[in-house]
Structure 1
Amino acid sequence: MSRSTAPLPALALALLTAAGLALPGPAPQAQTVVSEHGLGAVTTISGDATDIAEAETPAEAAGRAAAAAAQSLREAIGKLDQALTADDQVIALTEVIRAYEQGQAALRDSLRRAALRESQLRADFEAQRESLARIVGVMVAMQQSPETLMLLHPAGATSTAQSGMILSAVTPALQAEADRLGASLDEIATVRRIEQAAADSLARGLADVQEARRLLASAVTDRSSMPVRFGEDPKELTALLASADTLDAFADGIVTMEKDIGAPMADFEAAQGSLALPALGRVLRGHDEPDENGIRRPGLTIATQPGALVTTPWPATIRYRGPLLDYGNVMIVEPARGYLLVVAGLAQVFGETGDVLIAGEPMGLMGGQEGPAAEFGAAFVEAAAGGSGPENAQKLYVELRKGKETLDPAEWFVMNPVMSPGTDTDTPDGGEEAEQVRTTE
């Protein structure tokens, strides 16, 4: 009986050629071990540095980054007991909270990269659905057919010998494709383990960092050794607060209330371009960018985690702290004569007018609640994977002024690439363009 289709080996070779498959070459040696911290499997690879970079999957790289970030979270929380016995609890607790937030930011970034990799893998599967279906069909047919039958060819012995040669070439290529599919599925499973372990780590550390924030507020209130450079006239400040109808007018009024604050504490102008932003978070709007109502402001609007720590980036004197108009609690500090740093939207503000703050010292805390531990961890992972911030993100407004002139904060503060800004800038092939991030790392 004649056959109208090509023999199976030739058909398999044609499919492999159409799919662009090649015979597998030598690869670096890899060994997978279980992470002691529960962040899934970690792969150790030996061989040439270039081969190692190619052998490690993006999901494995994200897994190692997530493990490192989770470790920094654990180390930060582990310092809480030590902070309670420190000579200066304010500084010690500030370091604990900031370390936790930096670990949280790093974890968010690694989760986002892992999620991007999973999306890329799933898109690849979808794009190759038809080709993969044919290849799997060939593999199933080859597995179910006796080897001797596959080698037989209706054209005779010569063609049978040729079929054997073709089959010997096809089989390794099919095996290589099967290995590739298996590796992709393993990567997706690795991403899932990373996400679950991250949620667990965040849930375990939440109560401790919340306690650290509470203790910080108490320690700032109890501390009596805060240096004071001068005291504002309460009547003058109260009158200004009552008469000012905008933040701009209030800040201008503060400038006119000249005080002899002595020699500069440091060369503030020389620090231009190197200052850390007061809080970790995502910049929603930059200098003079309109908001959803078309209103332009000269400062930065930053979305932060609930309860985020707000610190001063430079030694400064508190000129005002308290509620102002509809900005919530506002802190205005003077880092150098003629300069004012304004931060608005805090839930709590620390210190008193005239107090001198050192660089990195807490100015206050943002509002909001993270929610129950388990829900917080899961929600954090979901938001990070989607490239967005928390649903209950808080908004911090940051403005820098010289005299009565507002300055572009981007020219003064360091913008580090940790989290994306308001719009996603990922490239279609799964890579990432340079991102603008504004954090204090």
Structure 2
Amino acid sequence: MIRHAALFLALTLWSGTARAESDPAEAAQAAARMLEEASVALSEAESARDRVRALTGTVQAYEAGLAAMRDGLRRASVREGQLATELRAREGEVAQLLGVLQTIETAPPPVLMLHPSGPLGAARSAMTLAEMTPALQARANALGRDLNEVRTLRTLQQNAARTLQEGLTGIQQARAELSQAIANRTDLPRRFTEDPVRTAILVSSTETLQGFASGLSEIAEGEIAASSADISDLKGSLPLPVQGVLLRRSGQADAAGIARSGIIVATRPRALVASPTAATIRYRGPLLDLGNVVILEPQPDLLIVLSGLQEVYGAAGEVIPAGTPVGLMGGAAQEIGAILSTSGDGSGTERSETLYIEVREGDSPVDPETWFQTDKDG
């Protein structure tokens, strides 16, 4: 329940941040509230019956809050730059406006009523001044609002360092507690027990992912229990296993001209990778040149291969629920200075890690986008 509450909160506040697209200050403040609520969820996870589930939701809430904070600070920086440029361009107009307003405010009433042309000229001047004053006041009010917004944005960015520090400390603690909770977990059902000797032989004797996938049945001690799982109704709607953006589609060549059957998702360092659906862990560990790999089997003859992780969780043979963490991406978590310095460029350079996702039906790879939703940024 705590995990679901944390995820609901993150999604709610994230949608609130999205609705505040025209108000960078409101977006950043909403992100700060997300981080505060993630901190509360972390303290509540201590007493949760299912600590893995609670801590997973907490880590994801922290990730969403930090992402929203980065986005809010980026838009705040962009907005401040726009206002500064506009104000510099209007320096002459502002000086003239202030001069006129000061003259109107300081001139004594009798002088305002005198005019060389006599009473008629004075009346005409008064009418002209009456027409001009609201316009001048409107311009002054607009200028005041712009200056106040600049002050608000600068104060927000100055205060962001403390909020970011608390968020980064919180997510680091949550990740560590999650790793320990997973290591201590003993309540998951198992379809088979892995034979480490057979696994090592298979890893060393295969040269392709296809060859390894075909030999997965050989790594178990004894028979692998049959499964009647069926997720065909989820086809095309599975969430990506990590918060990130689609970097390369299936069959799309990279800079070296190499095209792969899977997709590549760009993520932030240390992002949490979770199973998109209930599945059996068929393998986890280093494989070929793919780095650390997790192979999930949601149903017979369907494999989801996730590669490029730095840490992997769980054990081969375990049957895990949807949303269960299976690992962490690599890289070093950004420091506050790096986050603040890159928040204004919107370049996406903070997504420095890549997760490769391949889906295999039977003995053949298929386009992962036939199973996953890839039209939303994480």
Instruction: Give the structure-1-normalised TM-score.
Output: 0.71
Could you say which residue in structure 2 is the equivalent of 1:122? Answer: 84
2: CA distance between counterparts of 1:381 and 1:330?
33
Partner of 2:276: 313
Most deviating of 159-168 and 381-390: 381-390
2:285 equivalent among 313, 322, 343: 322
Partner Cα separation in structure 2 for residue 132 and residue 280 of structure 1: 46
Contact 2:283 2:294 in 1 (8 A): yes
* Correspondence 1:217 to 2:179: yes
Partners in 1 of 2:49 and 2:269 — Cα distance?
A: 28
* Displacement after TM superposition at 1:120 (Å): 3.5
Q: Which residue, 80, 91, 99 being the options, matches 2:42?
A: 80
- CA, structure 1 residues 262+384, in 2 after alignment: closer, same or farther (shift >3 Å)? farther
Note the C-alpha offset of 1:137. 4.7
Letter in 2 for 1:396: L
Alpha-carbon deviation of 1:299?
Answer: 2.7
- Is 2:317 aligned against 1:350? no
Corresponding residue number in structure 2 for 1:300: 263
C-alpha separation in 2, matches of 1:183 and 1:315: 52
| Aligned partner of residue 343 in structure 2, secondary structure | helix
- Tell me how far 1:394 sits from its aligned partner: 2.4
Tell me: CA distance 1:336–1:143, structure 2 relative to 1, closer, same or farther (3 Å): same
| Mean Cα deviation higher: 292-301 or 125-134 | 125-134
The 1:339–1:58 alpha-carbon spacing in structure 2 relative to 1, beyond 3 Å, is closer
Alpha-carbon spacing, 1:182–1:405, altered in 2? closer, same or farther (3 Å): farther
1-structure distance, mates of 2:87, 2:257: 43
Q: Match for residue 329 of structure 2? A: 366
Between 1:91-100 and 1:143-152, the stretch displaced more is 143-152
Match of 2:71 among 105, 109, 124: 109
Between 1:223-232 and 1:183-192, the stretch displaced more is 223-232
- Does 1:194 pair with 2:156? yes
SS at match of 1:385: coil
1:347, distance to aligned residue in structure 2 (A): 1.2
Q: Does 1:399 align with 2:363?
A: no
Compute the RMSD of aligned alpha carbons. 3.1
Distance 1:217 1:390 in 2: 27
Question: Relative to structure 2, which stretch is displaced further, 291-300 or 137-146?
Answer: 137-146
Return the offset for 1:321: 0.7
For residues 311 and 195 of structure 1, the distance between their equivalents in structure 2, rounded to whole angstroms, comes to 32
Match of 2:306, SS state, is strand
> What's the counterpart of residue 52 of structure 1?
none
Q: 1:340 aligns with which of 280, 287, 303?
A: 303
Cα–Cα, structure 1 residues 228 and 180, in superposed 2: closer, same or farther, change >3 Å?
same
Give the conservation status (yes or no) of the 8 Å contact 2:248–2:263: yes
Q: Specify which of 316, 328, 338 is matched with residue 379 of structure 1.
A: 338
Q: Distance in 2 between matches of 1:238 and 1:76?
A: 40
- Tell me, in whole angstroms, the C-alpha distance in 1 between the residues paired with 2:320 and 2:111: 85
Question: Greater helix share, 1 or 2?
Answer: 2
Is 1:437–2:370 an aligned residue pair?
Answer: no
Residues 180-206 of structure 1 show CA distances to partners (whole Å, capped at 9, x for unaligned) of 011011112222233333331120232
Q: Residue 315 of structure 1: CA displacement? A: 0.6
- Structure 2 distance, partners of 1:191, 1:201, is 15
Bigger shift: residues 379-388 or 275-284: 379-388
Q: Tell me, what secondary structure is at the counterpart of 1:410?
A: helix
> What are the superposed Cα offsets for residues 262-318 of structure 1, whole Å, 9 maximum, x if unpaired?
2333x3121123212111123333333333333323333223232221110101111
What is the aligned partner in structure 2 of residue 15 from structure 1? Answer: none
1:89 maps to what in 2?
51
- Asked if 1:264 is matched to 2:228, the reply is yes
- The aligned amino acid for 1:220 is I
Pair 1:339–1:184, CA change in 2 (3 A): same
- Structure 1: tracts of 5 or more residues without a match: 1-55, 416-435
Q: CA separation of 1:270/1:165 partners in 2, compared to 1, >3 Å: closer, same or farther?
A: same
Give the secondary structure class of the aligned counterpart of 1:303: strand
| Contact 1:255/1:338 (8 A) holds in 2 | no
Change (3 A) 1:308 1:58: closer
TM-superposed CA distance for 1:64, in Å, is: 3.3
Give me the whole-angstrom Cα distance separating, in 2, the residues matched to 1:127 and 1:154.
Answer: 37
CA distance in 2, matches of 1:283, 1:57: 25
CA shift, 1:255, in A, is 8.4
Q: Is the 8 A contact 1:255 1:403 kept in 2?
A: no
Please give the TM-score of this superposition, normalised by the length of structure 2. 0.82
Deviations 1:307-339 (A, max 9, x none): 221110101111111112332211111111111
Q: Is the 8 A contact 1:414 1:438 kept in 2?
A: no
List runs of 5+ in structure 2 lacking aligned partners. Answer: 1-18
Give matches, 1:121-270, under 5 Å.
121-126=83-88, 128=90, 131-143=93-105, 148-149=110-111, 152-232=114-194, 234=196, 236-247=198-209, 249-251=211-213, 253-254=215-216, 261-265=225-229, 267-270=230-233
Residue 243 of structure 2: SS of its match in structure 1?
A: coil
Q: SS state of the match for residue 85, structure 1? A: coil
CA distance, structure 1, for counterparts of residue 370 and residue 91 of structure 2: 49
Contact 1:340 1:401 in 2 (8 A): yes
TM-aligned CA distance change 1:131 to 1:354, over 3 Å: same
Of 230, 244, 251, the match for 1:281: 244
